[in-house]
Structure 1
Amino acid sequence: MVTKRRGAPEYLQNLAISAVIGLALALPYRARVRFVGRVMSAVVAPLAGWRRRIRDNLALVMPELPASEVDRLTRQVPNNFGRSLIESYSRQAFIARAAAVPFQGAGVQALEAARDENRPVILVTGHFGNHQAPRAALIAKGYRVGGLYMPMSNGYFNDRYVAELGQIGEPLFERSRKGLAEMVKFLRGGGMVGMVADHHMAHGAPIDFMGRPAYTALSAAEMALKYNALAIPIYGRRAADGFGFEIIVDAPIPPGDPLEMTRAMNESLERLVEENPEQWFWIHRRWKTPPQAAV
């Protein structure tokens, strides 16, 4: 469980972030999205060491990339993150854009049937494009969707961030004992729950992602099996104009061994990352090795 800190450093950090967000929200929608994307790329990324981390991750799993492409990704990855961040704070303007997007992909009919049958669904996604766009679109179209989130270590910023996520739609479930219990109750009642499944999890299994073992939790697959829920990968891919989205719904993952189901989830996200690498969050330390595994 993440410890939410509330000391002087966290307070000042939250103050700086809030100032940038407040300035951005005073701008028209397209201008604010463009502005925060540029701030993240040109200012935050070099100061926070993100560019080096992106380069290290790319060297690990895509060593064949030319230097020009690596340079492009070190700029575009933080830009996409900045755009996604301010979009989540833009409330109705963001929701309206997401709601207007038709769903596409092999899993659309299965998703609609599950809604009509009141069948539980685990919506599996990753830090790709804007992963809040599918949740916003589904809720706006009348789907009962809850979100599981990982709390941030900065307690001040976490409070505001969770409040803004709640503006997109509720319920929200913190990744904690209490939050998971609430999520299970919601799922059993026929709800749909979104889970971001591309975090490094030390207790997970080493399953290949982009050709390298990445410790991945089996919980999405295990919950789908336990509660007779469909496991459906879903993504909000950013459109070429940088402001719109495509909501991509993959076919449900066939029930079976949790390890094989999770491997299929990784492969689903991997295909999109290979097509649009600038839209995945390469800033993550996705390929860490847990100390116990190293031993």
Structure 2
Amino acid sequence: MQKPRFRAELLHPRYWPTWLLFALWFLIAQLPYRWQLGLGRMLGRLMLRVAPSRRTIAERNLALCFPDMPDGERRELLRRNFESSGIAVMETGMAWFRASRWLRKRLSVEGLEHLREPQARGQGVVLMAMHFTTLEIGAGFMAMNHKVDGMYRPHRNPVYDYMQRKGRERHGEDSEVYQRKDVRGMLRALKRGRAVWYAPDQDYGIKQGVFAPLFGVPAATVTGTSRFARVGRALVVPYTVTRLEGDAGYHMKIHPPIEEIPSGDELQDAILVNQFVEARIRDNPAQYMWVHRRFKTRPEGEPDVYEGVRKKKRKKRKKRRR
């Protein structure tokens, strides 16, 4: 895809509220790190009160995945998780608006050799990410340490779309971006020996996936990880970014490759992916994005996990007159 370009139409008055939002976001990102963490926690507590649908989704996910956890502990985990989600909003501003030098001061890195060694011999890498609340700042950290191509889904608001792409690509100028549906482009990149960012831990339905257990619950799991590794002749290398206690910053860990993928069996590969994801969530459950409908696609005959939860209405795009 071409680099994002500013267009005069983005200055239309209907987009002024979005520009104002970004101006405020930019200013907040300049505050001391500790202040931003505090603001993020406050925002998370507010979200817990004013976003009942998201709270219910998270509650049901936690009940499914940790059925033996006492109710009091689960409520505390829910509170910490929403605080983590609030901090993630601040971290997005940090990733998009703060200098790489400022970010590096707060980062320690482990296992970079697991990514550099296959790249040095020209082998492609499926850089497997997971939907933790550190996802956005983690992508920035990775781009500062290694050349990585990314996946991209356009935003409906063109100003937000422009700023999002500018923010995400500012730490990796030589990286390429592929729309999520551009499977051929990603495969070509892997065959050229590039590293491509990919997160397989959301529910995209069963057309391109299989049901594989996650915390003992059948979860619709995309088979793209297996397919990219097989067709792209690539290694699957997972990485995680953990927000440390207090204001100690972040630890990014590049894990050893999951060498069993591809096994030739897409179901077995999906099981391996979910086993890895589950283990990392258990390491740090408060920082995972529990507000996603991870179990929305159910095997035939099984009840809707999120029954009664109000679904977000998508606005229909108006066709432009020529």
* Deviation at residue 290 of structure 1 after TM alignment: 5.4
Distance between the aligned counterparts of 2:100 and 2:79, measured in 1?
A: 23
d(CA) in 1 for partners of 2:36, 2:122: 39
Deviations 1:138-158 (A, max 9, x none): 4323x2201113444555433
> 82, 88, 103: which is aligned to 1:97?
103
Are the equivalent residues in 2 in contact too, given 1:125–1:269 (CA < 8 A)?
no
Of 229, 233, 236 in structure 2, the residue corresponding to residue 231 of structure 1 is 236
Q: For 2:198, give the aligned amino acid.
A: M
TM-score w.r.t. length of structure 2: 0.76
CA distance in 1 between partners of 2:190 and 2:204 (Å) = 23
| Counterpart residue number, 1:139 | 143
2:196 equivalent to 1:193: yes
User: Which residue is equivalent to 2:86?
Assistant: 82
Of 256, 267, 276, 2:275 maps to: 267
Q: Find the structure with the greater CA-based Rg.
A: 2
Shift of 1:18: 3.8
What residue in structure 2 maps to residue 114 of structure 1?
118
Equivalents in 2 of 1:294, 1:228: separation in Å? 37
- Relative to structure 1, is the Cα distance of residues 46 and 100 closer, same or farther in structure 2, using a 3 angstrom cutoff? closer
Q: Give 1:164's aligned residue.
A: 167
2:106 and 2:249 in contact (8 A); partners too: no
**Deviation of residue 271 (structure 1)?**
0.9
Greater percentage in helix = 1
Distance (Å, rounded) in 2 between the aligned partners of 1:209 and 1:18: 37
Quick check: 1:233–1:265 contact (8 Å CA) kept in 2?
no
Deviation (angstroms), 1:123:
0.6
Aligned residue type for 2:55? R
The Cα shift of 1:287 comes to 0.7
TM score, norm. by length of structure 1: 0.82
- Point out where structure 2 has 5 or more consecutive residues left out of the alignment: 1-13, 304-322
Contact 1:201 1:217 survives alignment (8 Å): yes
Q: Single out whichever of 28-37 and 256-265 deviates more from structure 2.
A: 28-37
Deviates more, 1:124-133 or 1:19-28: 19-28
Q: Alignment partner of 2:57: what SS?
A: helix
**8 Å Cα contact 1:103-1:246 kept in structure 2:** yes
**Distance change >3 Å, CA 74–CA 42, structure 1 → 2:** same
**Which amino acid in structure 1 is aligned with residue 169 of structure 2?**
G
Moved more, 158-167 or 217-226: 158-167
Aligned partners of 1:197 and 1:217 also within 8 Å: yes
Identity of aligned residues (%): 24
How far apart are residue 269 of structure 1 and its match?
1.6
| Deviates further, 43-52 or 269-278 | 43-52
Aligned to 1:211: 216
- Unaligned segments of structure 1, at least 5 residues: 1-9
Which of structure 1's runs of 4+ aligned residues deviate more than 6 A?
Answer: 10-13, 291-295
